[in-house]
A and B are shown apart, each in its own frame.
Chain A
């Protein structure tokens, strides 16, 4: 999956590029609107991660240009502006999703995967991860030994883990992902503990190895290879 990251803040740009590269994305990174244009004219990207505010020009310009050129790449806006107006303008101009800064890098990866899946397969695809077969559109998961009955939250959680395979995701980022706007309403990490416990149990029951491991007090890691034992 080929990604173009357009973000004027060099350190954030580096972080995003680094995380997404580790996550098996093929990333190009630019820090201004002009160069961004050159990049997407030359290369067919699956998705563009686009900031809105720049010292010169703005992200909406790029969106307009993409529309004009009928480029069929997905766009994920990352903006510091949490304003409905901007969101609406962005989505109207053809952006697929809108993420407000600050965000968790795993969240960014999950959203990019979602956009990619929607665009590439119209959502009608099967993800095969080790022993798991995941149908994203119909929201079901099965293994060789049959379907796994997951709740909506457990399914979302699994998909989030899959989008951040082998990466540590924090409890907070899981809460933010699962509860979205409502995430602020709780500071109770027990809530996700229950979901994770159930998910793990259900996966184990269907003959999967224990994919999910806790990483100290920080969070969890989903890994199809045997996790490196804690030191």
Chain B
């Protein structure tokens, strides 16, 4: 939900509530004022009746043209009380009940006590209610429209520096820091935000640089002793006096060295991908690339007599060419390494997905862990358990979803990439 919508929701609900309360209040206030006014007019009628009685010593003739209806009722007791009451009165002409205000009191004419009631309809209240309701509704509507319109315009203007800053961040790439142009504003909160963004982006760029340097330094530091060891072994094997046992030791040492250097390279590659060092994307013709790769790998598959089935349709992806290369190499080499002699590999490329299916061990890999680092199904010294985690990393960065399935009836491992 957008902030302005949320804000409007709150302010409009409060506004509606306030209007309802104030209308109800206004209704009661106006009603009580009207009642008071009516009571005063009833008293005036009473005074007029009294004056008539005092002058003529008789009850006045009732005149029913007026709103007020007056009734005289002879009673025995005399009571000095005057009371105002609100009553429902049936109006014959309109055939309906009407709220009326009634003044009742006692008086005596020629020693006869009378109970006099003067009733006057409280005409205005219903109309007033309707009017008030309409006014309230109209006001609420107009006010809300105004508020929404103003909010829309003003909020848009007010929040402009915010969105402009966010847009700047959106285009920010830590591995390619360019000058961020944050907007100028005199709003304290936004200045605070922008100030912090500036500090933090600068910090991240700095950390990134440090990390990058560290990665490269670490690489240098590890590669150099590896290079020394490698070179010493290369010299050592030139010795003609080596026994077969010594040669065997040397072969093992070579293999271990190879593993170590491969491991180091893989970890560095992951670090590089993490550091977004391969962010340059370009459209890649996957069909073309795969055809080339399949040719390259042909010899490797042939060495294990693996049967290759290829079904390629046109497919394109926008990604880093280096990363795609590494990813395809990993997938295809896995399909060879983890295959058995005379096994098979299927490569299917369709628009938006690539499948590499190969025969292999007769049980599924752990689908939860297959893409995690150092996951190994078996203790295989040639496998450092990083190949698929590199594939995953590359997929994450290129907007590809990697999926692993195992087809139990054919003992096939299926890697699907969807983009």
Contacts and interface: CB of A to CB of B under 8 A. Distances in A.
Q: Is the interface of A mostly helix, strand, loop or mixed?
A: mixed
Contact-size category for B: 35 or more
A15 B228 contact: yes
Nearest to A153: B299
Contacts of B53: none
A152 B230 CA distance: 28
B382 A187 contact: yes
B241 interface: yes
Contacts of A80: 219-220, 223-224, 227
Contact of A218 (B232, B247, B336): B247
A215 B268 contact: no
Given A12-B231, A186-B333, A188-B300, A218 B223 contact: no
A200 interface: no
B334 to A, nearest CB: 9
Interface of B: 216, 219-220, 223-224, 226-232, 234-235, 237-238, 240-244, 247-248, 250-251, 254-255, 257-258, 261-262, 265, 268, 296-297, 299-300, 303-304, 322, 329, 332-333, 336-337, 382
Contact of A188 (B240, B258, B304, B322): B304
14 contacts: A12-B227, A12-B228, A15-B231, A15-B232, A19-B235, A80-B227, A102-B227, A170-B237, A185-B332, A186-B333, A186-B336, A216-B251, A217-B247, A231-B241
B248 A216 contact: yes
A83 interface: yes
The 6 residue pairs across chains A and B that have the minimum distance between CB atoms? A15-B231, A185-B333, A80-B223, A216-B247, A102-B227, A101-B227
A15 B248 contact: no
Contacts of A184: 262, 329, 333
A135 interface: no
Contacts of B230: 102-105
A106 B216 contact: no
A66 interface: no
A84 B251 CA distance: 31
A185 B336 contact: yes
Given A101-B224, A216-B247, A231-B241, A15 B333 contact: no
B247 A215 contact: yes
B415 to A, nearest CB: 16
